[in-house]
Amino acid sequence: MTTPSMNTVLEAVEMRVLPPDPAVMAAIGLSHTLNTAVADLIDNSLDATANRIVVRFMLRKGRPSSLLIIDNGFGMSEQAIDAAMTVGRRHHYDGSSLGHYGMGLKAASFSQAESLTVIARDQFDKTHHTAGRRWSRQGVQNFECEVLESSQCAEQLDLALESVDSKFGTMVRWDNVRTFPSGTNEDVVNEYLSRTVDSLRFHLGFVMHRLIKKRNMQISIDVYDADTGTAGAPRIVDAVDPFAYRRSGDGRYPMRFSVEVGPAAITATAHLWPARSQALEFRLDEDPVQRQGFYFYRNDRLLEAGGWKNIFTNGRRTQLARVELDIDTLPEVFDMNMEKSSVQPRPEFGHAVERAVSESGVSFSNYLNESEAVFRTGNVRSRKREAVVRPGSGFSPAVKRAIEEEYEDSAPRPPVQVRWKSISTGEFFEVDRAEQTLWLNERYRKILSTGRRSGMNDAPLLKASLYLLMEEVFRGSAFGSKAKDNVEIWQAILTDAAEDELARSSS
Ligand SMILES: Nc1ncnc2c1ncn2[C@@H]1O[C@H](COP(=O)(O)OP(=O)(O)OP(=O)(O)O)[C@@H](O)[C@H]1O
Ligand SMILES: [Mg+2]
């Protein structure tokens, strides 16, 4: 007789097969958002070697009704499209594939829409046959898929493929998208579309940033009115590279660390952003404190952006530290979720990071200390700055923001405006202290505001320079002889310089 123990290995006496209830289909892909779901379909387009992809919000009777993803990839045959629609059908993935689970198309689509249609034409089919399938969320639970009439599919596909300039490719269409607004109120629809397109554009540009650059591919998003058959202007998705600082926060970075997990190793490239960066690539879509940490890529697709995976905490002072990791170089240590929006490293990874040392002998915790140091030095001012008059109308938002960041305190005077008017004396500017306005001579406007966007806030560089030169004149109540003399000097020199600009532009 053995004594009962919790350590006893239990014996199996029989084997039973327990097939899943089809209702399980209703649960897949639930943690997708519209952004991650669309990204999952774009992964498929990229695996099909597409380099032009259009994401199209389709309006019917003034209301967003469907979403289309159109690509110029190699398309699908009748056989391939059946495999594509099959839940969990995995095929042989080559080393650079973004696909992995055989689930993405179905899971992403039903997480957002009630109905999924896929229409494709195989690049290599000389007969130009078009294959179409449709699945409703209901149908997928019985695993029943509709085969669509080929010539009708061909018509629709041809219309769609115009946007990617191709004769073959694939169109995925979602109908009855659950998150689309249900009303037709124009303001609500417009507000929804502008917010959604902006957010999607950012997300795709972010997670695909390496691929957009490397494969020279173009993703664009447009809004298509199905009643009139017209598409609005496409918004191109620009790459958003979270490591695109102009100058590193510390000359010794980026620095490569070898993270040794058992007998294998993965390279972690540690970066330090400069302090107080206002670049979109640093600020991204939220608090940069939350965007410090690991950036996991798989085959150049960004899966997860930021966070230290419980190895360190997201401290405010370590917010400049971002580490790039290509998990495909060591796939056995990392699991990614089905939605391809997060990565789970094995526990050994944490220990390996703590032990990691760079080629130059810097440890990972040194790196974090150094990131704190860069943050601290970048955020202390060597001395207290003066209180200045705020920039008012006429300055572009970017200039205003830059000035506000540098000068924290405001002088007790109304903001200074900068505006154009014709000045009969021919002088370059006029200081109007009663109106707190710096007038610039309209005569020079055309040559000095050269950017494409004109209007009130034109010539940002010129106006910022003048602000730095003249702000003090608008600050005090007194206008002393020294200040008057300065204004005379500036007037003489700037007027001659402006005349020189005019002469050069006409010669
Ligand atoms: N746009 C497309 N062009 C060509 N083939 C496609 C396209 N979309 C899907 N497919 C085919 O359908 C298959 C199934 O796609 P699905 O996204 O469901 O799974 P997967 O990409 O293989 O893996 P994962 O679940 O990781 O995304 C793909 O492997 C591919 O062969
Ligand atoms: Mg896929």
pLDDT band at 453 (very low <50, low <70, confident <90, very high): low
**CB 52 less than 6 A from any atom of ligand 1:** no
**CB 53 less than 6 A from any atom of ligand 1:** no
Mean of pLDDT values over 60-73: 95
Please confirm whether the linkage preceding 254 is cis (ω < 30° from 0).
yes
Mean of pLDDT values over 199-224: 96
Q: Is the pLDDT of residue 452 over 70?
A: no
**CA atoms of 431 and 417, how far apart (whole Å):** 11
Q: Is the pLDDT of residue 76 over 70?
A: yes
Mean of pLDDT values over 458-479: 91
DSSP string, 110-128: HHHEEEEEEEEE-TT-TT-
Q: Which ligand lies nearest the alpha carbon of 171?
A: 1
pLDDT number for residue 394: 95
- What would the two tokens of residue 254 be? 């980026």
DSSP string, 169-233: EEEEEEEEETTS--S--HHHHHHHHHHHHHHHHHHHHHHTHHHHHHTT-EEEEEEEETTTTEE-P
**CA atoms of 65 and 96, how far apart (whole Å):** 34
The CA dihedral of 341, 180, 172, 34, to the nearest 10 degrees, is -10
- Cα of 482 from ligand 1 centre, angstroms: 74
What are 354-370's pLDDT values in tens digits? Answer: 999 999 999 999 999 99
**CB 105 less than 6 A from any atom of ligand 1:** yes
pLDDT number for residue 281: 94
**Cβ contacts of residue 129 below 8 Å, gap of 6+?**
77, 78, 121, 122, 150
pLDDT number for residue 153: 97
pLDDT band at 382 (very low <50, low <70, confident <90, very high): low
Mean of pLDDT values over 116-126: 96
Residue 374 near residue 318 (C-beta atoms within 8 A): no
**CB 91 less than 6 A from any atom of ligand 1:** yes
**CB 44 less than 6 A from any atom of ligand 1:** yes
**CB 448 less than 6 A from any atom of ligand 1:** no
Average pLDDT value for the chain? 92
What are 244-264's pLDDT values in tens digits? Answer: 998 999 999 999 999 999 889
Rounded to the nearest 10 degrees, the angle between the axes of helix 460-470 and helix 397-406 is 30
Q: Is the pLDDT of residue 439 over 80?
A: yes
pLDDT band at 455 (very low <50, low <70, confident <90, very high): confident
Residue 370 near residue 323 (C-beta atoms within 8 A): no
Q: Is the pLDDT of residue 280 over 80?
A: yes
Of 390 and 26, the structure prediction assigns the larger pLDDT to: 390
Of 371 and 1, the structure prediction assigns the larger pLDDT to: 371
**CB 106 less than 6 A from any atom of ligand 1:** yes
pLDDT number for residue 270: 97
pLDDT band at 102 (very low <50, low <70, confident <90, very high): confident
**CA atoms of 9 and 2, how far apart (whole Å):** 13
**CA atoms of 492 and 168, how far apart (whole Å):** 66
Phi, psi values for residue 498, rounded to 5°: -65, -40
pLDDT number for residue 190: 92
Q: Is the pLDDT of residue 24 over 90?
A: no
Helix (H, G, I), strand (E, B), or coil: what is residue 254? coil
pLDDT number for residue 2: 66
3-state helix, strand, coil in the chain (%, to 5): 35, 25, 40
- Burial (CB < 10 A; 0-12, 13-18, 19+), residue 280, is middle
**CB 64 less than 6 A from any atom of ligand 1:** no
- Quote the DSSP letter at residue 61: T
Phi, psi values for residue 489, rounded to 5°: -60, -50
Q: Is the pLDDT of residue 154 over 90?
A: yes
- Cα of 223 from ligand 2 centre, angstroms: 24
pLDDT band at 15 (very low <50, low <70, confident <90, very high): confident
Best residue among 105, 301, 340 to mutate for probing ligand 1's pocket (most ligand atoms within 8 Å of CB) is 105
Q: Is the pLDDT of residue 27 over 80?
A: no
Best residue among 43, 47, 339 to mutate for probing ligand 1's pocket (most ligand atoms within 8 Å of CB) is 47
Q: Which residue has the tokens 């240590």?
A: 333
- The letter for the amino acid at 257 is F
Nearest ligand 1 atom, CA 169 = 3
**CA atoms of 244 and 420, how far apart (whole Å):** 37
- Burial (CB < 10 A; 0-12, 13-18, 19+), residue 387, is middle
| Protein residue with its CA nearest to atom 6 in ligand 1 | 44
pLDDT band at 472 (very low <50, low <70, confident <90, very high): very high
Burial 427-436 (b: 16+ CB within 10 A, else e): ebbebeeeee
Helix (H, G, I), strand (E, B), or coil: what is residue 452? coil
Q: Which residue has the tokens 């998208």?
A: 177
Burial 220-232 (b: 16+ CB within 10 A, else e): bbbbbeeeeeebe
Q: Is the pLDDT of residue 131 over 80?
A: yes
